[in-house]
Amino acid sequence: MRELHHLAQFTDCPPSQDTSLPEPTQAVTRIVFTSRDMEARMWLKQVAVDAGFATREDAVGNTFIRWQGTDPNLSAVGTGSHTDAIPHAGMYDGTVGVLGGLEALRSLREAGFVPKRSLELLIFTSEEPTRFGIGCLGSRLLGGALDPNHADALTDRLPETEPNATVGLTLAQVREAAGFKGPLSTVKLPQNYYGAWIELHIEQGPLLELEYTDLGIVTGIAAPASYRYTVSGFGGHAGALLMPDRRDALCAAAEMVLSVERHTLAANAASGGVDSVATVGMVNVHPGAVNSVPSRVVFTLDIRDADVARRDSILSAFRADIRAIEAKRHVNVREEFINADAPAKSSDHIVATLEAACRTEGATYHKMVSRAYHDTSFMALIAPVAMLFIPCRNGVSHRPDEYAEPEAIVRGTRVLALALAALANE
Ligand code: GLV
Ligand code: MN
Ligand code: MN
């Protein structure tokens, strides 16, 4: 807990002044390869070295912390998560899996455990899409799900107003400046590198708390997709450009935002469920002046579903609306594909190992699907995987008031340690 609170101090957000929020209200902004991210990485590596583990980093900055097994030729057992945080996030997303993983390894060693397979903690680069537009950057490269050249050409998406922004610089340039050199083609891990993988994470939803359940064992991860839209209209003086002559890019974008919401709600109504979700979370208005008609708007779409076909049918209906809005408002819309991933499935064996660890620990658990995405989706391409969730207050995440009980973090870490130990000696 002390280390979690220390890590939370590496933030680009001042402490919240909002007295309506429950404690703790330390808002965390830690964008990949910013000074704050680099300081946090340095501190974490030192903690791992002080604990006696070997560390290495790959060309994109994924960090490996290794405890060598007695049979180093066997595939390793891995655990880990991310330490980057979206703007105005909380202090538990990702970090619980990193420091929980480190604590699991440390405690097992202090307890005299001797692993046959190597145990490895992996800290992923840029799980969050804030800076380069795509989530799970490090794990996509590890799993071979992202072309290295395409990755290196991704550009910095931080708004120019951000102190850390390097607008227009590529990932290749930004990672080199951060000290991560060499071709990204070297990042992919071989298929037999990990024999088993477990990520500990906060649930980021309300179910465990509502059901008074200690832990969640994740059996699958919902399928995320994201796109970027550029709406080009015609700008001008807010007083002199008369309404009949307008081709306002923001008005057109506003109709599109409501269109995708409408089709997502309709998909849920048709299925009688709540599995379809769509979010427009970033809108950039050009030129962004009070008295200027917007000539260009760029917005992102994050769309997810447990059912890929349903996700695609929402997109088709949305695209038909885009064509109609283009015609009606005389604007042009360009769609850029960012990612469209399949759902991931957990390994029955690792799920059973986690169930056994819960029983040993006397923890109640539910099997569940993750609606948030995780680096584990991409580890699933190269290894048998599962995830372990701990409850978080009111299901709140990606907000400063994200909170998990220390007891829940301890319980999750203990179950993780037991499961890692069992897998390491198989
Ligand atoms: C992860 O941060 C997600 O957006 O699901
Ligand atoms: Mn997150
Ligand atoms: Mn996360």
Q: How far is the CA of 82 from the centre of ligand 3 (A)?
A: 7
Which-ligand-closest: CA of 224? 1
Query: Between helices 95-110 and 35-50, what is the axis angle to 10°?
Result: 10
- CA–CA separation, 355 vs 336, rounded Å? 42
* Atom of ligand 1 at shortest range from CA of 304: 5
pTM of the entire predicted model: 0.94
* Atom of ligand 1 at shortest range from CA of 128: 2
> What is the best residue among 30, 81, 128 to mutate for testing ligand 1's pocket, by most ligand atoms within 8 Å of CB?
128
Helix or strand holding residue 413 (H, E): helix 406-424
Q: How far is the CA of 316 from the centre of ligand 3 (A)?
A: 29
Q: What confidence score (pLDDT) does residue 15 get?
A: 66
Q: How far is the CA of 330 from the centre of ligand 2 (A)?
A: 37
Whether residue 58 has its Cβ less than 6 Å from ligand 1: no
Q: How far is the CA of 4 from the centre of ligand 2 (A)?
A: 16
Q: Residues of the chain whose pLDDT is less than 50?
A: none
> What is the best residue among 373, 389, 396, 397 to mutate for testing ligand 1's pocket, by most ligand atoms within 8 Å of CB?
373
Q: How far is the CA of 85 from the centre of ligand 2 (A)?
A: 6
- CA–CA separation, 311 vs 302, rounded Å? 11
173 within 8 A of 375, measured Cβ to Cβ: no
> What is the best residue among 202, 341, 398, 399 to mutate for testing ligand 1's pocket, by most ligand atoms within 8 Å of CB?
398
Q: What confidence score (pLDDT) does residue 25 get?
A: 61
**Strands 292-293 vs 215-221: parallel, antiparallel or unpaired:** unpaired
Q: Measuring CA to CA, which residue among 269, 370, 281, 253 is closest to residue 310? A: 269
C-alpha distances (whole Å) from 225 to each of 41, 231, 307, 379 are: 29, 20, 12, 18
Whether residue 223 has its Cβ less than 6 Å from ligand 1: no
DSSP alpha helix (H) spans, 213-347: 249-271, 308-329
**Strands 119-124 vs 365-370: parallel, antiparallel or unpaired:** unpaired
Q: How far is the CA of 295 from the centre of ligand 1 (A)?
A: 31
Q: What confidence score (pLDDT) does residue 26 get?
A: 76
Whether residue 373 has its Cβ less than 6 Å from ligand 1: yes
Nearest CA to ligand 1 atom 5: 372
354 within 8 A of 385, measured Cβ to Cβ: no
* Atom of ligand 1 at shortest range from CA of 302: 4
Whether residue 128 has its Cβ less than 6 Å from ligand 1: yes
Q: What confidence score (pLDDT) does residue 395 get?
A: 96
Whether residue 375 has its Cβ less than 6 Å from ligand 1: no
Q: What confidence score (pLDDT) does residue 299 get?
A: 97
Nearest CA to ligand 1 atom 2: 128
Q: What confidence score (pLDDT) does residue 165 get?
A: 78
Whether residue 124 has its Cβ less than 6 Å from ligand 1: no
Q: How far is the CA of 239 from the centre of ligand 3 (A)?
A: 46
Q: What confidence score (pLDDT) does residue 225 get?
A: 97
Q: What confidence score (pLDDT) does residue 17 get?
A: 65
Q: How far is the CA of 241 from the centre of ligand 1 (A)?
A: 41
> What is the best residue among 201, 204, 339 to mutate for testing ligand 1's pocket, by most ligand atoms within 8 Å of CB?
204
Whether residue 372 has its Cβ less than 6 Å from ligand 1: yes
